[in-house]
């Protein structure tokens, strides 16, 4: 405890060191104190105001840049800039009044969440860019489509339903295994389907050190050396359907996703993009959408119809029928 003398000064006080007051009553720093105060660096972000705003990773995910996890990787790589300064922490908070860039592109403020169904044809990569120069689904999207992220991915040769959204947070929620959204596929595989093989799939399995949850497989029919099945699972690990079926000696040679949670492929033709009406989206997955992103009032305008994909211009159908050769007359 510091002892005080009758003069009111502490023992450490020296005559002449008492702070001076201005006319307004504010304490005026001494010349020595002023010299010791460091000047702020022009290239350093001020300490964020933690009382308002949201974390940059969540904000950019809501803006449709990428999932929150992918945004965090972008920040680590130094690709995210706020008000001219490169970010180093995904914990930094923003209010939406800042100028935010990812790479060289300025990021617009998050818009109300929207969701699209896309019928991915075989032969396209489900990423923005491919190191090998192959065409991607983003090369085929109509120019009227806003910035979107995919809900999961489909392999190069896998066809069918792929969901798109401008809300990276929703995309991540739809992908999470804990939400257990069912993915259903029509599968053509070489080999004979038996009750034992279906039981093995239903029990779950480990293939090359990777654990796969139980898979529901229903045998549909045989077509020559091939068998058609309907397969349903609740996770989306890389090449899961192909690897699990190969483990029971069923070699997949065609794979078509027809359902993702409550959303169906239906009669959407290959290469086409169709927006899910806002009211249906909210009814189906509204609990997964941030309140700040939920569309209010009128439903958002639909995007223009997708241009026909060069890889899929014929009318689409989710039904797979036997095409038996008819004898020539």
- In whole angstroms, what is the distance from residue 181 CA to residue 186 CA? 17
Are 30 and 19 a contacting pair, CB within 8 Å? yes
Phi, psi of 226 (to 5 degrees): -105, 160
3-state secondary structure the chain: CCCECCCCCECCCCCCCCCEECCCCCEECCHHHHHHCCCCCCCCCCCCCCCCCEEHHHHHHHCCCCCHHHHHHHHHCCCEEECCEECCCCCCEECCCCCEEECCEECCCCCCCCEEEEEECCCCECCCCCCCCCCEHHHHCCCCCCCCEECCCCCCCCEEEEEEECCHHHHHHHHCHHHCCCEEEEEEEECCCCHHHHHHHHCCEEECCEEECCCEEEEEEEECCEEEEEEEECCCCCCHHHHHHHCCCCEEEEEEEEEECCEECCCCCCCCEEECCHHHHHHHHHHHCCHHHCCCCCCCCCCCCCCCECCECCCCCCCCCCCCCCCCC
Q: Is 322 exposed, middle or buried (0-12, 13-18, 19+ CB in 10 A)?
A: exposed
- In whole angstroms, what is the distance from residue 175 CA to residue 191 CA? 31
Q: Is 32 a catalytic residue?
A: no
In angstroms, the first-to-last Cα distance of the chain is: 112
Selected catalytic residue, list 13, 139, 155, 220: 155
Annotated active-site positions, please? 155
């Amino acid at each position: 405890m510091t002892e005080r003398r009758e003069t009111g000064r502490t023992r450490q006080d020296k005559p002449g060191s008492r702070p001076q007051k201005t006319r307004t009553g504010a304490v005026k720093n001494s010349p020595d104190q002023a010299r010791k105060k460091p000047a702020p660096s022009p290239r350093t972000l001020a300490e964020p105001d933690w009382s308002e705003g949201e974390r940059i990773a969540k904000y950019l995910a809501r803006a449709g840049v990428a999932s929150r996890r992918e945004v965090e990787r972008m920040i680590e790589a130094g690709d995210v800039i706020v008000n001219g300064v490169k970010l180093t922490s995904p914990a930094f908070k923003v209010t939406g009044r800042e100028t935010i860039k990812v790479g060289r592109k300025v990021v617009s403020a998050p818009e109300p969440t929207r969701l699209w169904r896309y019928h991915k044809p075989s032969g396209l990569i489900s990423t923005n860019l491919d190191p090998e120069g192959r065409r991607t689904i983003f090369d085929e999207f109509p120019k009227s489509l806003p910035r979107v992220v995919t809900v999961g991915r489909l392999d190069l040769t896998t066809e069918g339903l792929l969901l798109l959204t401008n809300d990276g947070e929703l995309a991540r929620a739809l992908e999470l295994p804990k939400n257990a959204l069912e993915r259903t596929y029509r599968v053509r595989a070489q080999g004979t389907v038996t009750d034992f093989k279906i039981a093995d799939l239903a029990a779950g399995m480990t293939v090359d050190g990777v654990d796969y949850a139980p898979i529901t497989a229903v045998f549909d029919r045989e077509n020559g050396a091939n068998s058609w099945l309907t397969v349903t699972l609740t996770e989306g690990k890389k090449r899961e359907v192909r690897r699990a079926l190969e483990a029971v000696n069923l070699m997949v040679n065609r794979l078509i996703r027809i359902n993702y949670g409550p959303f169906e492929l239906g009669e959407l033709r290959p290469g086409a993009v169709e927006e899910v009406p806002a009211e249906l989206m909210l009814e189906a997955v509204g609990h997964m959408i941030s309140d700040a992103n939920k569309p209010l009032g009128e439903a958002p305008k639909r995007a223009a119809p997708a241009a026909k994909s060069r890889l899929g211009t014929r009318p689409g159908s989710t039904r797979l029928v036997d095409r038996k050769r008819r004898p020539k007359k």
